[in-house]
Amino acid sequence: MTAVVEAGGEGRLELTELEFERVCALLKRRTGIHLTDIKRRLVITRLAPRLRYTRTKSYREYLDLVEDEGNEEAEHFLNALTTNVTHFFREPQHFALLRERIFDALVAKPASPGRLRFWSAACSSGEEPYSLAIALLDAGLDRQGMDVRILATDIDSQVLARARRGEYQHDRVDKIPEPVLKRHFWKGSGSRAGLVRIKPPARQLVHFTQLNLFDAWPMTGPFDVIFCRNVFIYFEPEAREDLTRRFHELLGHRGYLFLGHSESMTGPTASLFDPLGHTVFQKRQG
């Protein structure tokens, strides 16, 4: 099977079965993401602009460029094919559980005395870690003598750049209650009209850094809470098992792991956690 795509006046570029397999193998090797054949059209749509930008004349030539050791196009390749869908307080049941049960338990018995550490492991453009920062501030955890920090990581360098700015179109926050908006966001005016920006107290809690989840992790933990939501769905069972095991090792005593609403924990590593409902899991004692 061969798929074709228009390429900006340079004729029709073909994505052959072999080239699609190369894309899939390269993406899986670099990120652990598993693409199925139904994603062929997505690959064409996402990579066609990169072929035009690099002036490569075929997918084979483009993939040769990406696989060339040290070529910066490899990062653009990954950025193009990784999906970034998020919004503030996504999956509100998770934030309700944090407020109603978990925050008090963490303050009473943090993984490390006097400090709380959170990790947003696929933070995209920042809405998730900033939502977590807002929830922490509104719960007053910063006023309880605790050193509170949020690590926010993603493989995509472009979305991380947007996340660090902490600036969003107003329609991205239109479902946030007005009192919360006033406490934690500045409203843009003049040339910034239509934009909002996270205020310093929430921004200062979050540290953004680029990280491929399948590379070595520089941080040692322990973390009290890890968010890795809507990520497992892109991985095969073996990769999910590996990640779950590594998250378990990095969580402190009775730490919490949050997955996405359509995800589950299966296989041998499921025995390492107690399910709390709503795809939230607590590190098992013992």
Active site residues: 46, 154
How far apart CA 35 and CA 23 sit, in angstroms, is 9
pLDDT value of residue 256 = 97
**Among 21-35, 116-130, 152-166, 202-216, which is the least confidently predicted range?**
21-35
Domain count, the chain: 2
What is the pLDDT confidence band of residue 209, given thresholds at 50, 70 and 90?
very high
Joined together, the tokens standing for residue 207 give: 């540290």
Residue 245 burial (CB < 10 Å; 0-12/13-18/19+)? middle
Cα dist from 69 to 66, 98, 154, 156, 262, whole Å: 8, 44, 22, 19, 37
pLDDT value of residue 5 = 43
pLDDT value of residue 86 = 81
What is the pLDDT confidence band of residue 284, given thresholds at 50, 70 and 90?
very high
Q: What is the pTM of this model?
A: 0.82
Of 27, 53, 81, the residue at which a domain comes to its end is: 81
Of 81, 112, 136, the residue at which a domain comes to its end is: 81
On whether both 256 and 151 belong to a single domain, the answer is: yes
Q: What is the pLDDT of residues 171-183, one digit of tens each?
A: 889 889 999 999 9
pLDDT value of residue 6 = 43
Of 29, 49, 81, the residue at which a domain comes to its end is: 81
Residue 87, in any domain of the structure: no
Mean pLDDT of the chain: 88
Q: Give mean pLDDT, residues 160-187.
A: 93
Joined together, the tokens standing for residue 240 give: 């999910």
On whether both 152 and 205 belong to a single domain, the answer is: yes
Q: Give mean pLDDT, residues 201-228.
A: 95
> What is the domain extent for residue 109?
92-283
On whether both 278 and 183 belong to a single domain, the answer is: yes
- For residue 216, the domain's CATH number is 3.40.50.150
On whether both 114 and 172 belong to a single domain, the answer is: yes
Cα dist from 207 to 39, 90, 142, 270, whole Å: 33, 20, 16, 30
Residue 86, in any domain of the structure: no
102 three-state secondary structure: helix
